[in-house]
Chains A and B, each alone.
Chain A
Amino acid sequence: MKNELLIKNGIVIDPLNNIMGEKMDIAIKDGKIVEEVSKNAKVIDASGKLVVPGGVDSHSHVAGSKVNVGRIMRPEDGRKMRESKTDVLRSQGGFSVPTTITTGYRYAKMGYTTVMEAAMPPLKARHTQEEIRDTPILDEAAFTVMGNNWFVMEYLKEKDYDKCAAYAAWLLKVTRGYAIKLVNPGGVEAWGFGKNVNSLDDPVPNFEITPREIIEGLTKVNEVLRLPHSVHVHCNRLGQPGCATITLETFKVPKDVKLNTVSDREHIFYVTHVQFNAFGGTGWRDFESGAKELADYVNQNKYMVIDTGCVTYDNTTTMTGDGPAEFNIQRLAGYKWVNGDVEVECGSGIVPFVFMPKNPVHSVQWAIGLELALLVDDPWRVIITTDHPNGGPFIRYPRVYAWLMSKKYREEWLKKSHPWATERSSLATIEREYTLEEIIINTRAATAKILGLNRIKGHLGIGADADVAIYDVNPEEFDFSNSPREVENIFSNALYTIKGGEIIVKEKQIVNVIQGSTFWLNPKVDKELEEEVLKEVKEKFKAYYTINFNNYAVDLAYLKNHREIPIVTGVA
């Protein structure tokens, strides 16, 4: 009878269980959703309120060394939105690069309970896991960056997918990662020599492998390992005019790879923050949106999903593992810049950036993000993100919902924007408005399913983790299309957030802070093969790394309440 909770009479939207706005009770016991609870259960009266699963963010940069470098290089960001400590909360601060503590609080206030850190360089895994542990409330996991890894590139060049899979499995295990992330595959390695790759068939210096082979290879490896999430891809030529062409080519690369997974996902390819990769034109003068063609392709091809990476017109911080892209941004904008090189594995760059409505290029970027969300018909296959903090901070999600739910609101912002947003994108001509159900699918059900977490996250069926958000709105009466400002307000301030059966937010205030957990994968591969691969890795470790092999793996003590997802793979 410990920790029983009953949410009564709420209007529930739970897309994974096909519940679309029914009045019902949700019973919670010991952190899980259950059939019923005893009479002693604590009752929350949710009459006339919207009850949905806790939000799941599939792509956000919230922890790790580059986020921290962002904080260090931007004290002027850290002074924004400062709040003193209270009896419950520690002190908070930061806008685009908030502290770990602040990150946990702000997501919880919005009704989010699960967040994915989108890029963890293996060598920085310990730092990333420490920051994740430092982030309260949220359940988290991090994607291990592999797209420019020397071992990966060498195995793939030999087309030895089994060995590459064994190496990737080991890397996921020792970094406590959750998915395979590719960042500008091949390009970041080339950046070590001041170069980049400009097409999918440009060879990577010293490795003579092409981005196409890396993308296809790692997609195969991902399916060989049967991982819950697909490969998570940041395309080449990010942020360059005309990059939509290479993005479309990238979409086509893994077309023939067969789905093979332990989870319920139906896709094999996740392309992230597509807005930054959907630039048309040939230069900045004839710059235009390239979203239409990409969205059409996604509509026709069920094997892939995208997330948007919406621009929100804010003074934000761009940070990515894509070193050359950040260098280009710095050249264009002139803001301060940090470049990072992670030996053997990848790189990174960080530049502050101010997206301004009156800037022609920024206005088109803003339009592209929304176009992508609106032009892909199936809300299960396009995810709303801001690629926090690259397009804008995650606290702007409610504003993005409002834009998508209201044509009127989009028109209002189109007027504030440079005329290019109207002339060089199709945004002004799109009539579609997201329904509330679609927003809930998009931010809960679809993300959970895509991440392979849908059995425990993103729904309110029996056995799910008791992560629930209650919003102060009656979906049967409220006109979402005509009240965009209220929509922002409603989704910025959840009435209740319940995480693992604990009430975290009550009456829009955080009343309780708990520690979430970290998901990580432990793929089991053939023992002999693993030993063979590790023997090769150890030899090269001595030659390439500045760190001792024995100090490389991240001990589980660094993780918060770790939840291992064991996988028996298909490696022979």
Chain B
Amino acid sequence: MKEIVLTPKELPKLPIHAEIIKPDAFAGKTIKEIGELKVQIGNKQTDLSEIFSVNGETSEDPSDLRIVIDGDVSRVKRIGEEMKTGEILIKGNAGMFTGARMSGGTLIVEGNADAWFCQEMKGGEAIVKGNAANYVGSSYRGEWTGMKGGKITIEGNAKSDVGEYMSSGTIIVKGDVEYFAGIHMRGGTIIIEGNALGRVGSEMDKGTILVKGEIKNPLPGYKYEGAVKDPEVGGIVHKGEYHKFIADISNPKAKGEIYALADKNNHLLPK
């Protein structure tokens, strides 16, 4: 695999919109041509090479191309937006909308990811080794369809609204989440290995959420279905005994499933 390394120079104070940082846009261009691609800073456009020093080897084939961002780009938005193939590795923190609408390829963030990570994702795989902010794999503001496919893994914690309006695909959070994981969910799978601050599965109609930690502030819209041993969720058998709930019955037709580890969630049972 060919590799292009972007090293951030001194970044301006205004946020930068750099949706052109993706293998699909870099493939078939020389290093010089890549440096001449435009990024938006405020209401002005500038060359990519003003922001990053560009080195490495290019490829005609985007699927054979890895882009490595060697530094912190937390003020650079929309890296990897609509990427279809290839690989992006961000060695620092990533800015907002990283991987939005991506439909293929691999995206790895070694630091933390800002809000709207992999918004409206359609396919491919994304991994955050640090923490993620709000709205991981969510919809666009106002839209009623969110993540439609692919897999997101957050190795640290995530904040609120994970998988908002999600309809397919998988999100795994290895740490804790805050509020409203799986809000308006229509399908797909969310696995939370840590604790959830609360309101998991609010207004969900379909799909599955599995929580291995404690759900601290549950919703009144959970209907208890009984205990389940070793449930299979997202193609993996999760060892142990889980409480199963149907949610969110504020919509009487809802068929969402929530599994919560029995040991830590006995407070959710109907009295």
The residues of A with any CB-CB pair to B shorter than 8 Å are 73-77, 79, 335-336
Contacts and interface: CB of A to CB of B under 8 A. Distances in A.
A336 B139 CA distance: 15
Interface in B141-158: 141-144
A73 B141 CA distance: 9
A335 B139 CA distance: 15
14 contacts: A73-B142, A74-B142, A75-B140, A75-B141, A75-B142, A76-B139, A76-B140, A76-B141, A76-B142, A76-B143, A77-B142, A79-B140, A335-B144, A336-B144
A76 B142 CA distance: 5
A556 to B, nearest CB: 35
Nearest to A91: B43
A336 B141 CA distance: 13
Nearest to B139: A76
A79 B139 CA distance: 13
Contacts of A79: 140
B251 to A, nearest CB: 10
A446 B24 CA distance: 51
Interface in B102-156: 139-144
Interface size band for B = under 10
A238 to B, nearest CB: 24
B38 to A, nearest CB: 11
B271 to A, nearest CB: 33
Contacts of A76: 139-143
A458 B140 CA distance: 42
B142 to A, nearest CB: 4
Contacts of A336: 144
B18 to A, nearest CB: 16
A336 to B, nearest CB: 7
Nearest to B45: A84
Nearest to A72: B142
A329 to B, nearest CB: 15
Interface in B174-194: none
B250 to A, nearest CB: 14
Contacts of A335: 144
Nearest to B145: A76
A265 B34 CA distance: 63
B186 to A, nearest CB: 11
A411 B194 CA distance: 57
A77 B144 CA distance: 12
B30 to A, nearest CB: 27
Residue of B140, B142, B143 with most partner-chain A CB within 10 A: B142
Contacts of B141: 75-76
Contacts of A75: 140-142
A75 B143 CA distance: 8
Nearest to B40: A84
A532 to B, nearest CB: 50
Nearest to A78: B142
Contacts of B144: 335-336
Contacts of B142: 73-77
Please name the 8 residue pairs, one residue from A and one from B, whose CB atoms are nearest each other, closest first. Answer: A76-B143, A75-B142, A76-B142, A75-B141, A76-B140, A74-B142, A76-B141, A79-B140
A74 B144 CA distance: 10
Nearest to B140: A76
Contacts of B143: 76
A64 to B, nearest CB: 20
Nearest to A336: B144
A94 to B, nearest CB: 12
Contacts of A73: 142
B173 to A, nearest CB: 26
Nearest to A79: B140
A358 to B, nearest CB: 17
A77 B142 CA distance: 8
B148 to A, nearest CB: 15
A298 B143 CA distance: 41
Contacts of B139: 76
B93 to A, nearest CB: 25
Contacts of A77: 142
A241 B257 CA distance: 37
Nearest to B251: A334
A403 B268 CA distance: 59
A334 to B, nearest CB: 9
Given A73-B142, A76-B140, A79-B140, 11 more contacts: A74-B142, A75-B140, A75-B141, A75-B142, A76-B139, A76-B141, A76-B142, A76-B143, A77-B142, A335-B144, A336-B144
A335 B184 CA distance: 13
B139 to A, nearest CB: 8
Nearest to A77: B142
A251 to B, nearest CB: 38
Interface string B216-252: 0000000000000000000000000000000000000
A336 B184 CA distance: 13
A353 to B, nearest CB: 12
B34 to A, nearest CB: 22
A459 B143 CA distance: 43
